[in-house]
Amino acid sequence: MDAIKDRRNITSLVRGLEVLSCFESGEEFLGNLQIADRCALPRSTVARLTFTLVQAGYLYQEKKSGRYRLGASALAIGGVSLTRLKIRDRSRAVLQQLAESVGLQIALGVRDDLSMLYVETCNSTSIVRLRLDIGSKVPLATTAIGRACIAVMPPPEREALFMRMKKVLYQSNWDEVEVAIVREMQSVQERGCACSFGEWRPEISGIAVPLVLGGGMPNFAISAAGVAGLRSVNYYLDVVLPQLLSAVRSIRNEWD
């Protein structure tokens, strides 16, 4: 039975959650039109949803621009759920050691609809670092961590995801986006990592490897990323990648 058509389903609640889920890191404020495009909803519907979410504290509206960002209530829910993930406790020491060794930000992420959600981040002592933290959301299609996660998805699930991304996010340039994803899926098979050197943001470079734990756990991915230009592509592939793959093996062993 279609969940949306089920009488027990509260459609407005589902749509409200979709609105909250469309906010990504680096895009702190969104307007109703942007939200409507991302959620594939009428603008009038989005306007009612955002008004309600502001009143409930899940969204905050900037008076000058009229745009929204996540409110305290939404952030509190996310913070509580993330801190309870056991994978964070079992991986943090390994990830922090890796961050110090390679001088980059190391992030553990899981898919959240059309984004990757950071459930853990570890930084080195370097003064130059990325402004991404636990709870940050980054795109699936253009980041290394997203592409690594896509690479280990079951084919039917991946095909459905591609259709949604094309419809919701990349109507005008899907062919280009798909080619890049498929290229990095092949990279995961051949050398163990997906890459994104300036494809999400020009100032960010990174590689990522999948972390498949099984046992009913969702698929994760671990990325190593830094400011573009400070480290060469060869550094990421020759120095960072072997240590990243070793970290994945250590976490798997700890999990087993």
Burial of 44 (0-12, 13-18, 19+ CB in 10 A): exposed
169-183: pLDDT as tens digits = 999 999 999 999 999
Q: Is the pLDDT of residue 241 over 80?
A: yes
| Whether 150 and 222 share a structural domain | yes
**pLDDT at residue 3 tops 50:** no
18 and 143: one domain? no
- Residue 106 and residue 95 in contact, taking contact as beta carbons nearer than 8 Å: yes
Confidence check: pLDDT of 15 > 70: yes
Q: Does some domain include residue 4?
A: no
Angle, helices 174-191/144-151, rounded to nearest 10 degrees: 70
Mean pLDDT computed over every residue of the chain: 87
Question: For 222-234, what is the mean pLDDT?
Answer: 95
Q: Residue 24's domain spans which residues?
A: 11-76
Percent pLDDT > 90 in the chain is 59
Which residue among 52, 76, 100 closes a domain? 76
Rounded Cα–Cα distance for residues 138 and 143 (Å): 7
Residue 168 resides in a domain: yes
